């Protein structure tokens, strides 16, 4: 692929990743109370919720590749238990994300012992903080700035520490009454965008069947 095509591709990507171009360079780091007012609506919704479920579409664009890589699936988030991320197409995979890291990565029994779970802990922390909108955790690991836009809000997260910078140089989260999209971009401009749909908030305690899925 030519250099021009690459640049073109990257600019398209940037456009899609942040539909609101003017918000791409947010000015100020937001305080927790500012964030609380920006996110008042989703926070109120989550306050009484014990579970969150819905569908996702992940679009990954690798630098230098022409085709985006798209996958789809559903998720279940239980406060106190973690997040189950189930991909249906094009591969079948079920991951459990909790405080210890990402589980279900092993393809061989022997892999369990290789201890790489610790390396996935930061990723799990980000996902759990996003799903619970844990502002303390987010501001601890990231410089967070926020913008209010017509459709809702947009958060811009810049990692404070190397462990989080591992995941992405730049994370953008957007939503309205609920979180709608998260995008991660990397130094080499690999882009990963995850859009959520059919999100439902539940206030009933989790069923045994649901809990069993979290028993790792």
Partner 1 sequence: MSIRFRFYLGLAALLLLVTAFGLQAKRGFNFESDILALLPSSGSEPVVEEAQQRFASSNARGVMFLVGSTDIALARESATDLANKLQATALFEQINLTIHWSPKVSAEFWLPYRLGLLSERHRQLLVEGRDDLIFAEARRALFTPSGLSRPLPLSQDLAGLMSDFLIGQTRPPGRLQLSNGMLKVDDGETHWIFLRARLQGNPFELSVQQQAAQGIHAAMDQVLAQQEDLSILKSGIVFHAQKSAARAQTEITGFGLMAVSAIVLLMWTSFASPLPLLLGLSSLICGGLAGLLACQWLFGGVHLITLVFGTSLIGVAIDYSLHFFSDQFRLPSIWRPALAVGAVAGAIVVGHVTTVIAYASLLVPPFPGLRQMAVFSISGLIVACLVVLCIFPQIPVRARQRPPGLYRVARICALQAPRWQFRLPHAVSALLVSVIAVGGCLLLTFEDDVRLLQAPQHDLLEEDARLRDLLGLGFESRFLVVHGASAQAVLEREEGLRETLSQLQQEGVLESFQAVSSAVPSIHRQRQVRELQMRTVWSEQGLIPRLMRSLGSTDFEILRNRLNQSPDDPYLSPEAWLADASSAALAPLWLGDIGGQFASIVSLSGIKSASAIKTASASLEGVSFVDKVTDISAVLKTYRELALRLMSAVAALVLLILAIRYGWRGGIACILPPLGGCVLALALQGWMGVPVNLFSTFSLLLLLGMGIDYSVYLREGRHGEQAASSSMFAISLSALTTLLAFGLLNFSSTPFIRSIGLTLAPGILMIWLLAVWLRPQCSNTSAQTC
Contact footprint for partner 1 (CB under 8 A): 1, 58, 60, 62-67, 69, 71, 85, 87, 90-91, 93, 95, 102, 105, 107-108, 110-111, 114-116, 118-123, 127, 140-141, 160-163, 165-168, 184, 186-188, 190, 192, 194
Q: What is the rounded distance in angstroms from the CA atom of residue 131 to the CA atom of residue 90?
A: 24
Measured from the CB atom, is 21 or 115 closer to partner 1?
A: 115
Q: Which residue has the tokens 């991660």?
A: 184
Measured from the CB atom, is 142 or 153 closer to partner 1?
A: 142
Residues 6+ apart with CB under 8 A from 16: 193
Number of Cβ within a 10 Å radius of residue 93: 12
Q: What is the DSSP string of 158-185?
A: EESSHHHHTT-SEEEEEESSSEEEEEEE
Measured from the CB atom, is 104 or 152 closer to partner 1?
A: 104
Instruction: Supply the minimum distance, in Å, between the C-beta of residue 85 and partner 1.
Output: 7
Q: What is the rounded distance in angstroms from the CA atom of residue 27 to the CA atom of residue 146?
A: 9
Give the C-alpha distances (Å, rounded to integers) separating 202 from 6, 75, 79, 184, 215.
43, 13, 11, 27, 20
Instruction: Supply the minimum distance, in Å, between the C-beta of residue 50 and partner 1.
Output: 23
Q: What is the rounded distance in angstroms from the CA atom of residue 206 to the CA atom of residue 201?
A: 12
Measured from the CB atom, is 40 or 69 closer to partner 1?
A: 69
Measured from the CB atom, is 25 or 89 closer to partner 1?
A: 89
Q: Taking a C-beta distance cutoff of 8 angstroms, is the pair 182, 170 a contact?
A: no
Instruction: Supply the minimum distance, in Å, between the C-beta of residue 161 and partner 1.
Output: 4
Measured from the CB atom, is 140 or 178 closer to partner 1?
A: 140
Instruction: Supply the minimum distance, in Å, between the C-beta of residue 1 and partner 1.
Output: 6
Instruction: Supply the minimum distance, in Å, between the C-beta of residue 165 and partner 1.
Output: 7
Instruction: Supply the minimum distance, in Å, between the C-beta of residue 122 and partner 1.
Output: 7
Number of Cβ within a 10 Å radius of residue 111: 12
* Tokens of residue 47, six digits: 């306050």
Q: What is the rounded distance in angstroms from the CA atom of residue 74 to the CA atom of residue 56?
A: 6
């Amino acid at each position: 692929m030519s250099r021009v095509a690459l640049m073109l591709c990257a600019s398209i990507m940037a456009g899609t990743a942040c539909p609101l171009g003017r918000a791409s360079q947010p000015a100020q780091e937001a305080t927790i109370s500012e964030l609380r007012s920006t996110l008042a609506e989703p926070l109120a919704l989550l306050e009484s919720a014990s579970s969150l479920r819905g569908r996702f579409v992940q679009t990954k664009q690798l630098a230098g590749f022409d085709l985006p890589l798209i996958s789809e699936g559903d998720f279940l988030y239980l406060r106190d238990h973690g997040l189950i991320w189930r991909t249906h197409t094009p591969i079948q995979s079920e991951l459990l994300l909790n405080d210890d890291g990402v589980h279900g990565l092993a393809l061989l029994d022997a892999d369990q012992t290789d201890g790489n779970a610790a390396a996935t802990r930061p990723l799990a922390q980000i996902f759990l903080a996003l799903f619970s909108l844990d502002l303390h955790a987010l501001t601890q690991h990231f410089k967070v700035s926020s913008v209010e836009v017509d459709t809702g809000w947009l958060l811009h997260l810049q990692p404070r520490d190397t462990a989080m910078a591992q995941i992405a140089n730049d994370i953008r989260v957007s939503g309205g009454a609920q979180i709608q999209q998260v995008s991660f971009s990397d130094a080499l401009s690999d882009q990963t965008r995850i859009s959520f749909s059919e999100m439902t908030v539940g206030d009933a305690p989790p069923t045994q069947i649901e809990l069993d899925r979290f028993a790792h």
